[in-house]
Structure 1
Amino acid sequence: MEPAVLREDMVDSLEHDAKAVVRSERVSVAMRTVPREPFVAEDAAAYADRSFERLGTRVLSPSAAGRLFEALDIRPDDTVLVVGVGVGYTAAVLAELTDEASVHGIDIARRLVYDARSNLSAAGYSGVLVDCRDGARGLAEYAPYDRILLEAAAIEPPEALREQLVPGGRLVMPLGGATQTLVAIEDNERTGYGTVAFHPMLVDGEQADTIERNRTRREDREHARRDAERRKGWEQDWIDWDRA
């Protein structure tokens, strides 16, 4: 079946009363426009309503992505920052909702940054800027933003992200630890959009592709491994225990 037909079926199911995660016409049109196959390794399953793992990150299911878009309430001239851009799919849909040049994405994992850039280019959204940054610090060079989307859970909203919003701007994020709620934060007001389950936000040094910077820790671990593998005296084949 043609991808365009599969996208139509996907969004129809998201709008149906059984799910009802897509309610606005603008989100519906954007999700019907953006192809998912550049962002999902398995083309045949690109439009299935489930999440995928890719390069150590989770590619959100269409339902989860739709909830984020509705909570953000993007206006046509909004500037948007996506924190934890991952493979780039949400950034592509946001580019449809506003403009490519108005969407910036950051991720703490460098290989995901390269992957997102490649995926966005393949999908026709090469104008979206993607950079490697610590998400908790945001992207101050291009601030302020009308909307910030944090695609990772945190116990409290990162202060730097709140400071990079325009007055009255909106931060959407999963808030909490073991139990999380999708919230939209505007100034001091919080609006909940139901429970969610996202990976926690990483800090520098926790990403899967990081190089461990503490040389002593690396060396201690290597010495411990070698000690564990070294054979004891009674295991050595050069000792003749019968003649000892």
Structure 2
Amino acid sequence: MDPAVLRDDMVASLEHETKALVRSDDVSQALRTVPRHEFVPADADRGAYLDQSFDHRGTRVLSPSTVAKLLEALDVEDDDSVLVVGAGVGYTPAVLAAMVGERNVHAVDITRTVVYDARRNLESAGYGGVFVDCRDGADGLPEYAPFDRILVEAAAVEPPRTLVKQLTSDGRLVMPLGGREQRLAAVERETPNDVESSSDAGVAPDARVVERFGSVAFAPLLVEGEQSGAIERNRTAREDREYAERHAQTRRGWEHEWIDWDGR
């Protein structure tokens, strides 16, 4: 079947009132334009336009519904300069390029093989002008800052302060916040007058959550040494192991000893 027809069907299902994930004309048109089959693994071509995700080289090709949710929350405007942290296979940067222009979209990923794949996919799909570089996502891309919009496709307890500082004064950062339980949130920089009145617990002092968009489930934001191929790459598993080790040494209550009441 014609991929354009499949894309139309995909977006129509996301616009339907049962999901209502696509609400803006810009997001709708961009999703209908970008050939998603250029970004999914070769053995998943037939399901490229189904609402499902795929695993590829230690990263995840986000489902169309997840991409729609991220883009609606990001709320980009014409000619916005955008940074995507977590380039993945390049699909989200491509959709953003269809909205604001290739030269306005920048993406970083900590895994070099993922960066190569994203560049190749973007070129193949007709969006070779998107800049993709291998970086620690928490460091952002200071050479091209400030950005009007920053999208982080990985979770953290609070927004990395470096990324917040790379926003324009009226910029917007969207990312999943939390550990095991995550909520998609939009973050803006605080002005000095806002600092004392902010009540968003867990958010960096120079940022404030301005909107939340429901529960999500993303992999944690990786730092150097945790990317695919490194000895430690799953921060959650590492934290679980360390917690278990500490907990084993801090028994309390009835766990401390068995009291022989009959013998007293």
TM-score (norm 1): 0.85
Matched to 1:71, the amino acid is A
Question: Bigger shift: 185-194 or 85-94?
Answer: 185-194
Distance in 1 between residues matched to 2:214 and 2:101, nearest whole Å: 28
SS in 2 for 1:78: coil
Match of 1:198 in 2: 218
How do 1:157-196 and structure 2 match up within 5 A? 157-187=159-189, 188-196=208-216
Count of aligned positions: 212
Matched to 1:200, the amino acid is P
Distance in 2 between residues matched to 1:198 and 1:15, nearest whole Å: 23
Q: Where does the alignment leave 5 or more consecutive residues of structure 1 unmatched?
A: 213-244
Match of 1:16 in 2: 16
Matched to 1:193, the amino acid is F
Whether the 8 Å CA contact 1:156–1:175 is kept in 2: the answer is: yes
SS in 2 for 1:118: helix
Match of 1:32 in 2: 32
Deviation at 1:209, TM superposition (A): 2.6
**Deviation sequence 1:102-140 (CA, Å, 0-9, x none):** 100000000000000000000000000000000010000
Match of 1:230 in 2: none
Distance in 2 between residues matched to 1:211 and 1:61, nearest whole Å: 28
Match of 1:6 in 2: 6
Deviation at 1:48, TM superposition (A): 0.8
Deviation at 1:186, TM superposition (A): 1.6
SS in 2 for 1:185: strand
SS in 2 for 1:90: helix
Match of 1:61 in 2: 63
Whether the 8 Å CA contact 2:158–2:178 is kept in 1: the answer is: yes
Distance in 2 between residues matched to 1:72 and 1:97, nearest whole Å: 12
Match of 2:194 in 1: none
**Deviation sequence 1:64-85 (CA, Å, 0-9, x none):** 0000000010101100000011
Q: 1:71 aligns with which of 66, 70, 73?
A: 73
Whether the 8 Å CA contact 1:136–1:203 is kept in 2: the answer is: yes
Match of 1:105 in 2: 107
SS in 1 for 2:128: coil
Distance in 1 between residues matched to 2:186 and 2:105, nearest whole Å: 18
Match of 2:140 in 1: 138
Match of 2:238 in 1: none
Distance in 2 between residues matched to 1:47 and 1:201, nearest whole Å: 27
Match of 2:54 in 1: 52
Deviation at 1:2, TM superposition (A): 1.1
Distance in 1 between residues matched to 2:167 and 2:188, nearest whole Å: 9
Q: Check 1:207–1:189 CA distance in 2 against 1; reply closer, same or farther (3 A cut).
A: closer
Deviation at 1:43, TM superposition (A): 1.0
Distance in 2 between residues matched to 1:209 and 1:71, nearest whole Å: 32
Matched to 1:137, the amino acid is D
Q: Check 1:177–1:29 CA distance in 2 against 1; reply closer, same or farther (3 A cut).
A: same
Deviation at 1:210, TM superposition (A): 3.6
Distance in 2 between residues matched to 1:14 and 1:57, nearest whole Å: 23
Match of 1:95 in 2: 97
Structure 1 or 2, whichever has the larger Rg, is: 1
Instruction: Give the aligned CA root-mean-square deviation in angstroms.
Output: 1.0
Deviation at 1:190, TM superposition (A): 2.2
